[in-house]
Chain A
Amino acid sequence: MSGYTSDPRIRWTEWLPWLAAIAFFFAMPEYLSLGARILIYILTVLSLDLILGYAGIITLGHSAFFGLGAYTAGVLSAKYGLTDPFLQLLAAAVAAAALGMATGAVILRTKALTLLMLTLAITSILLEIANKASWLTGGADGLSGVKTDPILGMFKFDIFGRTAFIYCLIALFIGWLVVRRLIYSPFGAMLTGIRENTVRMHAIGAPVYWRLVLVYTMSATMAGVAGALLTQVNQFVGLNVLGLEPSGDLLVMLILGGVGRLYGAFVGPVVYLIAQDYLAKQYPEYWYFGIGVLLIVVVLFARGGVLGLVDKCLQALSRHRNSAKASAR
């Protein structure tokens, strides 16, 4: 998709998700808070795809950045009275970027299982800190009373979630623009190269390590902003944003949608969160069971996720059409 031979212009199909989002806003006003959640997770999964799908860094610790962003916004607001929404986002971005750079610089020298373990350890440490430092983070009860000023002084966060939805939509749009640019740029082609064959990248003179640290930091920043958005929208932050479990959720969402393709990050959270909203409340055990089975099936038979399956269908259809045309002549 990216690379020196691909066409970077935005295809008309790429505007569909945004049209769908706007339609959703008007058509489903009761579900706007779920909608905002979905948008936030799309942004997060997008950041994860950047390092996992494009650069090939397999991590169980992405929740660390999400959670750090979430708690930064929450703590600054509830404990220190910083309620300007953009400053909260900025602070979250800076904190997550710092963590991303620091941890990335240290752990990206390792590989495979060691790297996986380190990412897991980092998010676990943050979870422990959040748990124990209850004077700051509210501990297991979480931090409530997170206030955020109206956006641009005008748009208050209303109880219907209208402001929240549009706010998150704009944030996602910006994130999407940035990621899309990045993927089609030479940097994006280079990331694909690192994923495809790291040895070769070294041999053509790419300073692989520094590039990985850079993209890791960028991804962390994005995830941190997403976390802050969640806190702002919920006016609350709890322990469930840190640790192994949310990292696992993100992975599942990504694989469901399709790894290494821009829109996998869009499809995955939509499918996952809608299903979760519906099923998990009614039948929690069945929900876990179902997701587990789905995951196994996807890994074994549909590695490309939903979008991969769509691709295969389209290919089969066009082959069918071509052979029909050929036999009609």
Chain B
Amino acid sequence: MPASALETQKLCKSFGALTVAEDIDFRLEPGARHALIGPNGAGKTTFVNMLTGRIAPSSGRILLGGEDLTKASQAARVSRGLGRTFQVTTLFRSLPVLDNVALAIAERDGVARRMWKPASKYSEIADEAMQLLAKLEIAADARTPVQDLPYGRQRLVEIAIALGLKPKVLLLDEPAAGVPSQDSGRILEVLAALPGDIAILIIEHDMDLVFRFAQRITVLVQGQVLVEGTPQEIAADARVRSVYLGEATHA
């Protein structure tokens, strides 16, 4: 069986008496379009934080491209091709959009350590950043400080930074969260246009987006995987309806 892009085996996390993740077995195939859904408090963001290395799991293994990275640092995982966006926009607020993306590219290329030549002379970095921004159609904002952009555009910058890392696996934590509905269509376009060789895991509450984007869906409830399957299977599953989709229709 070919190596998965990202895999967890029996991943567990407890904070004292509180168990937020229990025996999570998860598998993301290369090039996948996978969604993780679940009610609030199900432990989705905790799961992503464990995947990226922000939190250490209590037990279990995390494999990236077949390599065990359970104990690896955040930086090590990024260099192996793991990128993420945050649910709450986490950008370099006072810096221009171009710099935000350039910082990511510089890290990837190993340029960030260089101390002598001025940064702006590394034109290949600025060029690549501009290309990326152009692809997301925010090139016009390149010199604008991020904090001056409308929120929807900031979410796009968030995605741009992650793409700058040329990840093999991309974790998107609620990319459309807080975005006004007229702008979320743009986000969906961007997501649909993402390169096919990247494996993407998306956490979302927007069911419309999930069902249009995902090829497989995992449902997480109270730290455990309830069920996993194709969108049709999930939509038809009575347990999922009662636990989760029932909530969404009331919301």
Contacts and interface: CB of A to CB of B under 8 A. Distances in A.
B94 A188 contact: no
A197 interface: yes
B118 A184 contact: yes
Interface size class of A (residues with CB under 8 A): 20 to 34
B26 interface: no
B129 A4 contact: yes
B21 interface: no
Nearest to A190: B112
B93 A188 contact: no
Contacts of A208: 75
B103 A185 contact: no
B96 interface: yes
A208 B74 CA distance: 10
Q: Which applies to chain B's interface (DSSP): helix, strand, loop or mixed?
A: helix
Given A5-B98, A7-B120, A197-B91, A203 B74 contact: yes
B54 interface: yes
B90 A200 contact: yes
Nearest to A207: B75
B120 A8 contact: yes
Contacts of A77: none
Most buried by A among B78, B112, B116, B164: B112
A5 B141 CA distance: 13
B140 to A, nearest CB: 14
B250 interface: no
Contacts of B95: 3, 192-193, 196
Contacts of A181: 115-116, 118
Interface string B56-76: 000000000000000001110
Q: Which applies to chain A's interface (DSSP): helix, strand, loop or mixed?
A: helix
Contacts of B129: 4
B125 A4 contact: yes
Interface in B71-94: 73-75, 77-79, 83-84, 86, 90-94
B119 interface: yes
Interface in A174-193: 181-182, 184-190, 192-193
Given A205-B78, A205-B165, A8 B121 contact: yes
Most buried by A among B107, B114, B126: B107
A187 B91 contact: no
A199 B90 contact: yes
Interface string A1-15: 011111110000000
A202 interface: yes
Nearest to B92: A196
Given A186-B106, A203-B78, A5 B117 contact: no
A207 B142 CA distance: 26
Given A189-B99, A189-B119, A204 B125 contact: no
B52 interface: yes
Contacts of A7: 120
29 contacts: A2-B119, A3-B96, A4-B98, A4-B99, A4-B106, A4-B119, A4-B129, A5-B99, A8-B120, A181-B116, A186-B112, A186-B115, A186-B119, A187-B113, A188-B119, A190-B107, A193-B95, A196-B92, A196-B93, A196-B94, A197-B93, A199-B90, A200-B161, A201-B103, A203-B84, A204-B78, A206-B75, A206-B107, A207-B73
Interface of A: 2-8, 181-182, 184-190, 192-193, 196-197, 199-208, 211
Closest A-B pairs by Cβ, 10 of them:
A205-B78, A8-B118, A4-B102, A196-B92, A184-B118, A204-B104, A187-B115, A207-B75, A3-B99, A202-B74
